[in-house]
Amino acid sequence: MTDEPELDPNSQQAKEIAGKSPMRIALGRLARDKIAVVCALFVLFFIICAVFAGPICSLFGVSLDTPLASERVDGLNSGLPKPAMGPPDGPFTWDHPMGVAPRTGQDNLAYWLHGCRASLMIATTAAIVASLVGVVVGLLSGFLAGTVDKVLSFFIDMFLTVPFLLAALTMAPILNERFNTSDNYGTIQKVSLIVILSLFGWMGTARLIRGEVMSLREREFVQAARVIGMPTSRILFKELLPNLAAPIIISVSLMLPAFVALEAGLAFLGIGVTDGVSWGQMILDAATPLFFREYPQYLWQPMLGVVALVLSLNLLGDAIRDALDPKTRR
């Protein structure tokens, strides 16, 4: 049942615990969770890769620049990399630590690092935006109740009815039509991807928060705050929000891996990022029987990236939830 030894309430240890904030208790629990630590290290690794993608690339002397294809790949050998470029036909080379892509000769390491950056940047931003929207809507709807609750709940339900994939599929050509002559097409694509992801990602958080708020608002401390005449905004942000930290952190930590996977999925379908700098697009290029047979590393690299990142984010999210929930003891 429990791995924490029973303590004498008057002992030194018990007094220390009594002096800890709930957050510190949670962090302490997290630090003792081996899986959580490993996952956190993984996530940290990916974050470092993403943040320092540029410097790491220059460290290895690789870049996103398109080379002339014929310099690096052999057009008469199915477009596979020349032996001097490393696997599959040649030995490992420090010039291209992860090899080069067949057909185009682009450096896999540079694309992997920048793909990681695109993936994390889009997922993080979208998760933050979606949670912000979700929290605000949930707070308002749960606390104000009545008409406001009805209207907001209607919007939550309405957005839940829109099929996400269909909407994303429809948006892609519209955005292209509107912005394809712009010089910042790539940025616009990423921004719109963030908008789409957060537009269809906030409803779960909103519902969760709304439910929590509804149960909290009848509690004594809220009643007391009302009685002494606190303004609604102060009740919302000073009284309710701190009590909602746990569900919010949990929803963000579970939203992140979902968005990473969605970003890759959309890029694979050719409707997210289309400039090739995305794990999903790398998987799309590599997922042919021939390349997988002759050059499996090419598919494994982005695959492992997506799987490892999504898995560690998910497990970390689970661990955070367990740590924050006072009722679970593992």
Binding site for another protein (CB under 8 A): 66-70, 73, 75-79, 103-105, 169, 172-173, 176-177, 180-181, 183, 185, 269-271, 274-276, 281, 284-285, 288-291
Least distance (Å) from another protein to the CB of residue 291? 7
User: Is the CB of 180 or the CB of 232 nearer to another protein?
Assistant: 180
User: Is the CB of 72 or the CB of 210 nearer to another protein?
Assistant: 72
Least distance (Å) from another protein to the CB of residue 74? 8
Least distance (Å) from another protein to the CB of residue 305? 18
> Contact 196/122 with Cβ under 8 angstroms?
no
Least distance (Å) from another protein to the CB of residue 97? 22
> Contact 103/290 with Cβ under 8 angstroms?
no
> Contact 148/141 with Cβ under 8 angstroms?
yes
User: Is the CB of 180 or the CB of 328 nearer to another protein?
Assistant: 180
Least distance (Å) from another protein to the CB of residue 101? 9
User: Is the CB of 105 or the CB of 247 nearer to another protein?
Assistant: 105
Q: What is the C-alpha to C-alpha distance for residues 165 and 259, in angstroms, rounded to an integer? A: 13
User: Is the CB of 212 or the CB of 285 nearer to another protein?
Assistant: 285
Least distance (Å) from another protein to the CB of residue 271? 7
User: Is the CB of 52 or the CB of 179 nearer to another protein?
Assistant: 179
